[in-house]
Structures are given as structure tokens and as C-alpha cells.
Chains A and B, each alone.
Chain A
Amino acid sequence: MFTDFFYTLRKKGVPVSITEWISFIEALYQGFFQSSINHLYWVGRAFLVKSEAYYDMFDEAFQEYFGGIATEGVELDKVLQWLENPLNRLPKLTPEEMEEFRRKMEEFQRQHNMDELMRQFRERLKEQHERHDGGNKWIGTGGKSPFGAYGYHPGGIRVGGESWMQSAMKVADERRYRNYRNDIILDVRQMKVALKKLRELKREGAEEELDIDETIDKTAKEGGEIELVFNRSRENTVRLILLMDTGGSMLPYSELCDRLFSAASQMEHFKEFRHFYFHNCIYQDVYEDMANYKRVPTEKLFSNFHKGYKLIIVGDARMAYSELFDVNGCIDYFYTNDKPAIEWLLRIREHFPHSIWLNPTHKNFWGHYTVDTISKIFPMFELTLDGLKDGIKALTSKAKQPVLN
């Protein structure tokens, strides 16, 4: 049935929501697809896919779903068979979503007269049956399209017998959602929302905002003669530096770090945003590019950026003991450092009192010696939504100097 398409889409990774699916079905019911696969493709896509990033997946799903029924002849049996519930293709929906789906279905059934639907449905079936010699592509979709869909909702339940809604228990039993649980990842938007909290409003620029309190005070003092008082509008004065580890051990987290980076760089929210990279640990140079070619002396960070800048360092903080504590300990054989990394880290912390370390690895793995040491220098947070929120809080609160024993 048509609802399968919904699951095909989701299987392919298109994040179709129930709301979108319902409006698609409604449009289908109102006959906007004019029994043409082109309409179904273009207009359907407009309903179901909300970012061009998913167009490819949509194509795949469309191909898979509508490609297969190309030349099949239509018989009543078969149509009825289609109508049966897709028992072996149970939905990947969370219980809450399932509940919402069920609710929407009921609403839908209430809104549309079921008998009328069934009558139209049968009529259309008959038409299809008669037309089946043509055996064109359209049978699977065009013919079914206005009816297939809701044929699924009320019809499916009637014709098909067992409703898959009831088999939710079975689904729960199989724990199909287990994988879903790990799916809760930070997307760019969530990060942006978290980063938005990073602000310090200061009055800057031209005086153009009306200060109402002052105006009232002044006006009262002038005995009713209106005196408008303007103020500078408040602007975010946060300047942010992002320092990111590009070391090999960070590779599994590169996507996550990319997201953080795009979130931070897309925000027009900061007064200034700068980013640099380092390899495993910070020595006398940081780099402007990911490939670590364009060197910027770390000293420059101190001379160019005053201590008001907020600093976020992203890295797993895991390295060999020598990389952190030894002269010439850098992992790159061609690189010599006459000061151990720990000194640089301490200097950075000293210069940027508002700094945090975001660690993409799980807290359970922080037992490593270097991680431990670094987390004593910089307040360390997990690169998760909660961690990011806590980190931002720490960044905006009063700076504390590290307590090293």
C-alpha cells in the first residue's frame, strides 16, 4: 500500500514527519496529483522533502517503491492484497509518534465519510480492473493514488483485517527502536540554539533605541513637555575563538566537530568569530587550515586577541604522556617544541580566562592521564547537547582560575 512509501522514505533516510505525510495524503485525496507519476513525483516531493539535501534519498525511495510496479496487470485480488497491512514492514516509529499517528488517523476518518470513501474506492477499483489491459505504470499509483492512501486508513483496517497498529506491542517486544536511541545526535540547529546563549549584551553604536523609563522620568520633570531619551541599542559583544584538534584520534568525531564549526560560523550572532586548528596538542604554533600548513604562532593569539575573547577548544585531550609534558614531545617528527605543551596550555588558560574544553569522547573514557590533567586546566565538557549547554554556561559565568595541584 501507499503507506509503505512512507516507510520506504524513512528507511532511505528522508526525515518525513507524520504531519507532512498527512498533508500529502490530504492533497492526494483532493485529487491534486491528477493520476500522473510526474505530478506525484514533483508535487509529492514538495510535500514530503524539506531540504534539497534529501532529494537524492527521495529519488532512491521513489525508484524503489514505484519502479517495481511498472508493468504488473491489476486484478482485484491483487489490489486487495496490496491493501493488506504491511505486517512484515512494521514502522520505525517511537511510541509517541505511533500514538500521534493513530490519533491523526482517527481524526482523518472522522473528517471523511468512510462509506463514501469506500464507494469511491470500489468504483475506482472497478475502473482499474477494466482498464487493466493497458497495464501501464499508473495502475500502482495513479489509480490507487487518491484511494490507496486512505484505503489504507479506514479501508486497510476493514479490508485487511488485523491492523498493524495493534501490533505495536510486537514491535516493542522486538525492540526495534533500540537503534533509534543512539540516534539522538546534535544537529547544527541544536548547536546554534545552544550557542545563542553565548552572549553579552552591551550598548553600542548609534543612539536609536527609545529609553522609555528615562523618557517618562525626563518628561515628568519637564512638567509634561515631552523629552525623548534615546539609548544605544544592545548588541552582542561576544568574540569567540574556536580551536580544534585535527589529530588522528579525532577522526571518528570529525563530523560532530564539523557541525559545531558550521553552527558557530553560520551564526551572525557573534561580534567576531575566529577559528584555528592544532594537531593533537598545542605548541608554539596553531594553524589556520585543517591541513596544518598555514602556521600562526600561538603567541599571536595572545597579542591579537585580548582576554575578553571566549575560547572553546575541541579535542579528545588524549595523547602520549610525552606529548604533553616533554620538550620536543610533539607527535610530528619534523616539529620541535622547546616548551612542553602543558606550559602553552597553562598560558592559554591564563590569557583567556573564559575558556572551556569540549571533549567529543564519552565521559567514561576520560580516565586517561592527559585528559585528567587537561581537565584540571580547562573546565571540560562532553560535546553533547547537555555538555555544550553546561559549557556555554561556564563560558558566560565569572572566570575561575585553574587549580593545579
Chain B
Amino acid sequence: MAQNVHGYKGSEDYIASKPLMEIVNVAIALGKPLVIKGEPGTGKTLLAHSIAQALNKRIIVWNIKSTTKAKDGLYVYDTVQRLNDARFKDKDISDIRQYIKLGKLGQAFTSEDQVVLLIDEIDKADIEFPNDLLNELDEMSFHIPELDEEVVAKHRPIVVITSNSEKELPDAFLRRCIFHYIDFPDPEMMERIVRVHYPDIETRLVREAIKRFYMIREVDGLRKKPSTSELLDWIKALHLGGISIEKISSEIPFLGTLLKNEQDTGRFIRVATSQGGFGFKRKY
């Protein structure tokens, strides 16, 4: 435990804010699941990867879909395979164990070393899904009735849970977790983030692009504000396209990489032209 207290300090390609680092460390030390919320593209998922990388641990990713059941994460009993094998004499089917396949949570529990378990986009699943995992995450163990065996975590995995707040998470679940909302980075932080990804791109271009980017984000009534990943794409496009800096400030080239639906683009153009002076032209 102790060696982890000051363990996580961000990793090479991920910049964590100081509070976030501290929170990650406390969560690791106390063995509590960490719930991360924030706008899309603020690096919620990347955080888990970064923790794994920084602490040199294996990462197990459990991507949640709308059809995911809590039990899928524990284990699956492959009855069909067993039934199928029963036809042939060459296999011994009396051993149920070979048909029990551990899910992501089960794998994390049985791993020989401590792992980072990322439960990605938990809000995608059914509204009761988090409640079904309460006990498993609390006790870090579950029971397999088919084998009458208890799977107990050898090392409490570092659990990182991300949510896009599509659905609200149940209180009982949240009570057991540590929660952090990743703020949208400020321009300074953003510059550092961009630097991590594209160390070679000219600083002036990056600054100018970031300035424009925040201006676009401030336009009221956008259905989807451009996020970090869009900015990164945009900067890359600007760089590859060899767009001059003057051009970025006078018009917004490749607007399509930032705003991804017609209504937003329309809205932006309207606002930009009504405010005048910017001379924005739509250009893809």
C-alpha cells in the first residue's frame, strides 16, 4: 500500500492535474473504486491506461454496452460447449471447470499481480447494473454456484469506472466510490496536453489554434461542444495541411473536424457572421 501512496504522477502521454493525481493515489491506497466523470474527450478512459502504465500494471478493460449484465463480468458458464462436447467420447465433460469462463471482473480478481480494472462507460448499461456489482466491488469476491467456489481477489484491483452521465448512477453505488469530475482543461493545460501528443508542431500554431478552439466552445447553443480529441485532430489537420497561422486567425479551416453536425456548423457560422469582424468562411 505504502509504495503506492506517492505512486501515481501521471504518465508520459497523459497529463493529470495535481488534484486528480492525489485522488488516484488515495483511491489506490484505500482500495476504493474511482468513479470518473467529465465531458467527452477529457481523458477519462485514458486515465486508467495511464495509471496502468505509470505503475507498471496490467490493465483489464471491461467495455460496457447497453446489453451488458453484471454477471457477464464475473463468469460465463458455457453450457453449449459442454453439451456439444458431450457428443464425443474424447473429452471429459465431468469437469465443469473447463466450461466456466471468467469475465473481466473475474480475471482481475484471479490475476497473480494487482491489475488496473477499467469499467468503461458504466452508464451505458441498464440502470440497475451498478447496483448488481455493489457487493462484488465491496468485498472483491463472488461465488460460482456451479463449482460451489468463492472467487476472492488475490490483490484488490485498482478499479477505475468512467461515466458520461447518460444515466445517473445509484446513490448506494456512489457512496462506496471516490468520485472525481474532470474539468475541461484550461488553455494552459490544453497546451501542455497538445504538446504531449504533438511535440513537433510549432508553438505559435498550437496557441492560435487553441485560442480559436476555446472561442468556438464558447458559442452558445452548440449541440456538441468540440472536445480535446477534436482539437487534437484539428491541429493535426492544420499541421498536415500546412495552413498558415494568419489563416487560422482569419478563418477556420477544416471546421468539420471540430463541429460534427450540420446544425452546429450552421449555428456557428450564424453566430460568427452576426458578431462580424471575424470573417469566418466555411471551409473543409
Contacts and interface: CB of A to CB of B under 8 A. Distances in A.
B30 interface: yes
A27 interface: yes
A268 interface: yes
A32 B29 CA distance: 9
A71 interface: no
B19 interface: yes
A266 B166 contact: yes
Interface in B167-185: 167-168, 170-171, 174-181
A46 B179 contact: yes
Contacts of B86: 226
Contact of B176 (A19, A38, A39, A43): A19
A153 B80 CA distance: 57
| Residue from B19, B35, B87 with most neighbouring chain A CB atoms (10 Å) | B19
Contacts of B168: 51, 188-189
A17 B22 contact: no
Interface residues of A, number: 36
A193 interface: yes
Contacts of A23: 30, 32
Interface in A51-70: 51-52, 55
Contact of A52 (B22, B26, B174, B181): B181
Contact of A43 (B26, B66, B181): B26
Nearest to A48: B179
Contacts of B29: 30, 32
A225 interface: yes
Contacts of B79: 212
A188 B167 CA distance: 10
Given A20-B175, A39-B22, A225 B87 contact: yes
Given A23-B30, A27-B26, A210-B80, A49 B179 contact: yes
Contact of B22 (A43, A51, A224): A43
B100 interface: no
A190 to B, nearest CB: 10
Interface string A6-19: 00000000010101
B127 A193 contact: yes
A228 interface: yes
A52 B19 CA distance: 15
Nearest to B173: A50
A23 B29 CA distance: 12
A192 interface: yes
A215 B174 CA distance: 42
Nearest to B30: A27
A47 interface: yes
A55 B181 contact: yes
Given A46-B178, A268-B66, A226 B30 contact: no
Given A23-B30, A189-B170, A46 B23 contact: yes
Nearest to A187: B168
Contacts of B87: 224-226
| Residue from B5, B23, B32, B176 with most neighbouring chain A CB atoms (10 Å) | B23
Contacts of A212: 79
A42 interface: yes
Contact of A46 (B66, B80, B166, B180): B180
Interface string A179-196: 000000000110011001
A189 B127 contact: yes
Contacts of B240: none
| Residue from A15, A50, A212, A228 with most neighbouring chain B CB atoms (10 Å) | A50
A46 B26 contact: yes
Contacts of A55: 181
B178 A47 contact: yes
Contacts of A39: 22
Interface string B75-91: 00001100110110000
Contacts of B166: 266
Interface string B55-85: 0000000000010000000000001100110
Contacts of A267: 127
10 contacts: A15-B171, A19-B176, A26-B30, A42-B19, A50-B174, A51-B168, A51-B181, A52-B181, A189-B168, A212-B79
Given A46-B180, A50-B177, A51-B181, 16 more contacts: A17-B171, A19-B175, A19-B176, A32-B29, A38-B18, A46-B178, A47-B178, A49-B179, A188-B168, A189-B168, A192-B127, A196-B127, A219-B83, A226-B86, A228-B80, A266-B166
Give the 7 A-B CB pairs with smallest separation, nearest first: A42-B19, A52-B181, A50-B174, A46-B23, A50-B179, A19-B175, A46-B178
